[in-house]
Structure 1
Amino acid sequence: MVDVRDDAMAAEGSVSKVVLIAAVAAVGGFLFGFDTAVINGAVGALESTFQAGDAAIGLSVSSALLGSALGAFIGGQLADRLGRIWTMVVASVLFSVGTVGSGFAFGLVDFSIWRLLGGIAVGIASVIAPAYIAEIAPAHLRGRLGSLQQLAIVLGIFAALLVDYGIAAGAGGSAENPFWLGIAAWRWMLLSELPVALLYGVGALMIPESPRYLVAKHRDEKARAVLRTIVGRAAEAKVNEIRQTLSAEHTSRFADLKGRFGLLPIVWVGIGLSVFQQFVGINVIFYYSSVLWQAVGFSERDSLAITVITSVTNIVTTFIAIATVDRFGRKPLLIVGSVGMSLTLGTMAFVFGTAGVDPSGNPVLQGAAGPVALVAANLYVFCFGMSWGPVVWVLLGEMFNNRIRGLALALAGSAQWIANFIVSSTFPGLRTAGLGLAYGLYTGAAVVSLIFVLVFIRETKGKELEEM
């Protein structure tokens, strides 16, 4: 007697297995988010421990982003040479070494070097996860599974901020105080990334290689075995489809990206998406928010608590994106997000721009201004989290055709990290010049992002990668 459920699973593949595979790959996104946010609780302690000014702290904190730009640039090429799985393992090793080094840094120079190394791992993970998930996921699930990257990022941000808060509280409310074994709390904050970095490498060795990579390496039988798990009886047809696509290709070169304006239009669109995702200032919230809220009168512990609440908002809104990205499409979510970010950032620019200052030059939010700023900041995170956060990763994983995907992703990923570096390294100076100016610039970027989406973004919902 034939089991109907087993027959259906054989025909359609196992959705649960595909989700599990994609979730393991997205652990790289968790580390990406964790690394992004864990520095938040340590910034103030770094300033006092190493007696550094705004410019030096801005550069050292942002050094990881330069590494990430390099990692994103080489990540695609590594994935094509070593395979997606071993590239994840390489990233895990670099994560681990960078984490230990930064946790035991002797000065700001070697701290920056270790952050740079860890940043290379972040950059590799940032391009390998969306590419792998896009290649492993069926078309009807690809948007939701691609959104797992952003969900993992925001969960990593939340976990890092929660760890920062817990360690600071356990150390008496300050990251400069000693914690376990007499080691300063801020060092433990940075070292807390190590277990997850090791788990990422172990997890990567337990998931299958990308079918597209296997076919490219003439390992068709192994590709069929992987695809039977994903698409069931359609595995043979899918292998043939991938082989036909690959046969029409040649080894990717950067010359393939050249177009009328230096690069192909689609590559410029990918770079634009990456840059605008950062120029709206989202990572200012997660790099510097504890320092920011302290500047307007909150205690260090309360500032970390506010940042944890903000990260929870980010998580909730990412679930909204996962539930809607394959239903409403990519472009509508980006439009709604750009409008919302323009309004909320504009509100923060007005509140901080009209605030008074104390003798130290810090803004003083009086009356309703403080609550309005808090609400606007969280609504801004809401608008980003349900749109530009996850949707950009989905689009970057699927918008390029197979011939140029790896190199185009590398270029777009590098542009994203360079834009992140520009925003993060300039914020300390902008904070000194006036938060109204800083948020005014981010508001302008949000407005331009709306125009960019309306003019240049094409919908990719429901299309197979071979159709791009």
Structure 2
Amino acid sequence: MTDSETVAHEKRRAHAKALMLAGVAAIGGFLFGFDTSIINGAVSAIGKDFGIGSIALGFVVSSALLGCAVGAWFAGQLSNALGRVRVMLIAAILFFISAIGSALAVAAWDLVIWRVIGGLAVGAASVIAPAYIAEISPANMRGRLGSLQQLAIVSGIFVALLADFVFATAAGGANEPLWWGLDAWRWMFASAAIPAFAYGIMALQIPESPRYLVSKHELTRAREVLKSVLGGNVDQRITEIERSLKSDKPPRMGDLKGPVLGLLPIVWVGILLSVFQQFVGINVIFYYSSTLWEAVGFSQSDSMLISVITSVTNIVTTLVAIALVDKLGRKPLLLAGSAAMAVSLGVMAFIFATAPVADVAGKPQPMLGDLEGPIALVAANLFVFGFGCSWGPLVWVLLGEMFGNRIRASALAVAAAAQWVANWTVSATFPWLSEVGLGLAYGLYAGMAALSFVFVARAVRETKGRELEDMDRA
């Protein structure tokens, strides 16, 4: 074997190792998607079992998101103090506890507590996974590996919705008993314990982030990890990481202070990326999709199946993003996605705003005709397509790579916390907005998609091919 063949072989091995490590870290994303979407098939059942109205039900559904915001906020500080891998283990334990507690909840307030605990884990995973993946990825494949986070999220959503469909169908309804006298909706929650356990076991098998190890002056271990994922001589990279950290003081939240409303401009870009990702209303499709399609005339079984089909669309489009992100770059895909979302949401807003309304069980519901119903369904899936090949994966890629080494974990925590607050705002207000009119709800989301186009065009900087150590340079 020639020297060039040896180098190429070593690089292939290193890239395979980076892919494996990114895949393990992305399991947190799978749980993120699974945990936040498993409630989809249980929404109506929870309302009936606990006898709560739309406002209280909206709070129960969105309660996990409050925990997500708190978990994301503190995950950055914890990961700087304890390391990325230890925070993954903490998240796995919280996921497991939440799954069992939610399945055995005795009242709405009880369920809220367990969902908030699960939210803490989801929030932590939403920070740690993209940070860890960015920090172990070679620059030329960082976009693809970073997109694994979103692929894992949408895969978790798909498996959760499929589990909802299977459990509800097997029991004859989400409110019907399945095994051991427990209703099907309780088994939906309990099923999250399996991937949570797997996440904890797998996290024990991976090395710590090399950037974290350098920050703790564990240079020998950092060198070993970098060599395993990059290949070749990594001494220069170690030197560059040390330069980028710039201080003997450990990273802290105070590093984010800047001249624009108290924060560095780059932190605000991260916050607004996160907020726009949620304000286009994507999670309405996943948290309330079964209930939404029931509201416009589909049966419960058909509604759950449509939700599964929508989640499959999201997986396929994420694969498209993985194929394109390191070729076309982040910014062009974001702009294309914003345009596609604005158009498809506008179509949905028009259809729902002009649909005749009938009184069903004392509530006004839009009645979609033989033409309007399929158009709305196609528009919803085109919206998911536009989101899935752009804003879904690329926000996580950018948040993992756009910040300098010293502020990465803290800035990512702030941006992710803002994302969860925005997610909660959309999810908690949708039941009320849908009662006022689905046309209004989707019209607002369409407006946000249009604004996101302007924001990306003016404020987002391309990061394709740049090393993490160069991100703090203009």
TM above 0.5, yes or no, is: yes
1:180 aligns with 2:179: yes
Query: 1:246 Cα deviation (Å)?
Result: 2.5
Which residue is equivalent to 1:21?
21
Cα distance in 1 for partners of 2:295, 2:138 equals: 48
The counterpart of 1:407, out of the listed 407, 410, 419, is 410
Alpha-carbon distance in 1 for matches of 2:253, 2:215: 19
Partner of residue 272, structure 2: 272
CA contact (8 A) 2:15 2:138 kept: no
Corresponding position of 1:149: 149
**8 Å Cα contact 2:77/2:252 also seen in 1:** no
Cα contact 1:284–1:427 (8 A) shared by 2: yes
Match for residue 255 of structure 1? Answer: 254
Counterpart residue identity of residue 215, structure 1: V
Look up the equivalent residue of 1:368 and give its one-letter code: L
Say which SS state the counterpart of residue 97 (structure 1) adopts. Answer: helix
Residue 82 and residue 254 in structure 1: after superposition, are their counterparts in 2 closer, same or farther (change >3 A)? closer
Q: SS where residue 404 of structure 2 aligns?
A: coil
1:213 corresponds to which residue?
Answer: 212
Q: Single out whichever of 221-230 and 332-341 deviates more from structure 2.
A: 221-230
CA distance in 2, matches of 1:343, 1:247: 46
| CA deviation after TM superposition for structure 1 residue 3, in Å | 8.5
**CA distance in 2 between partners of 1:126 and 1:20 (Å):** 19
Deviation at 1:216, TM superposition (A): 1.6
Moved more, 48-57 or 259-268: 259-268
Give the one of 365, 369, 373 matched to 2:368: 365
Q: Which moved more, 1:345-354 or 1:394-403?
A: 394-403
For residue 90 of structure 1, what is the aligned residue in structure 2?
90
Give, in angstroms, the shift of residue 109 of structure 1. 0.3
Specify every segment of 5 or more residues in structure 2 that has no aligned partner in the other structure, as ranges.
none
Aligned residue number for residue 226 of structure 1: 225
Match of 1:374 in 2: 377
SS at 1:358 equivalent: strand
Measured in 1, the distance between the counterparts of 2:422 and 2:225 equals 37
Q: Is the 8 A contact 2:144 2:326 kept in 1?
A: yes
Alignment check: 8 A CA contact 2:338 2:450 kept? yes
For 2:433, the equivalent position in structure 1 comes to 430
Once the two structures are superposed, residues 344-365 of structure 1 have per-residue CA deviations (whole angstroms, 9 ceiling, x without a partner) of 0000000000011122211100
Cross-structure match for 2:56 = 56
**Counterparts in 2 of 1:269-418, with a 5 A limit?**
269-360=269-360, 361-418=364-421
SS of 1:459 mapped into structure 2: coil
Partner Cα separation in structure 2 for residue 43 and residue 16 of structure 1: 41
CA distance in 2, matches of 1:240, 1:445: 43
Question: Gaps (5+ residues) in structure 1?
Answer: none
C-alpha root-mean-square deviation of aligned residues, in Å? 1.3
Number of residue pairs matched? 467
CA distance in 2, matches of 1:23, 1:362: 43
Give the distance between the partners of 1:208 and 1:186, measured in 2 at CA. Answer: 37
- Please say if 1:448 is aligned against 2:451: yes
Take 1:324 and 1:128, find their aligned partners in 2: how far apart are those partners?
24
Query: Does the CA-based 8 Å contact 2:244-2:404 persist in structure 1?
Result: no
Please state how far the C-alpha of 1:82 moved relative to its aligned partner.
1.1
TM-score by length of 1: 0.98
- Alpha-carbon contact 2:252-2:410 (below 8 Å) kept: yes
Partner Cα distance (2:458, 2:344) in 1? 23
**How many percent identity over aligned positions?**
59
Contact 2:211-2:405 at 8 Å conserved across structures: no
TM-score, scaled to structure 2 = 0.96
Q: Secondary structure at the match of 1:175?
A: coil
Structure-1 separation of matches of 2:21 and 2:251:
27
Deviation at 1:13, TM superposition (A): 4.9
Residue type of the alignment partner of 1:331: K
Could you say which residue in structure 2 is the equivalent of 1:40?
A: 40
Look up the SS of the partner of 1:35 in the other structure: helix
- CA drift of 1:257 comes to 1.8
How far has the Cα of 1:4 moved from its partner?
6.7
> Could you tell me how far apart the structure 2 residues matched to 1:101 and 1:125 are?
20
Aligned to 1:236: 235
The one-letter amino acid paired with 1:364 is: M
1:463 to 459, 463, 466: 466
Secondary structure, in 3 states, of the residue corresponding to 1:251?
coil
CA contact (8 A) 1:12 1:233 kept: no
AA aligned opposite 1:354: T
Indicate how the Cα distance of structure 1 residues 275 and 74 shifts in structure 2: closer, same or farther if over 3 A, else same: same
The C-alpha deviation readout for 1:288-338, integer Å capped at 9, x for no partner, is 000000011111010000000000000000000000011000000000000
| Preserved contact between residue 353 and residue 440 of structure 2 (Cα < 8 Å) | yes
Compared CA separation, residues 208 and 254, structure 1 to 2 (3 A): closer
Q: Which is worse superposed, 78-87 or 368-377?
A: 78-87
Structure 1 residues 241 and 13, CA gap change in structure 2 (3 angstroms): farther
CA contact (8 A) 2:157 2:311 kept: yes
Partner Cα separation in structure 1 for residue 223 and residue 265 of structure 2:
35
* Alignment partners' CA distance in 2, 1:243 and 1:419: 35
Using the alignment, how far apart are the partners of 1:2 and 1:369 within structure 2? 64
TM superposition shift of 1:247: 4.0
Q: Whole-Å Cα distance in 1 between the matches of residues 79 and 304 of structure 2?
A: 37
Give the Cα–Cα distance (whole angstroms) in 2 for the partners of residues 4 and 271 of structure 1: 44
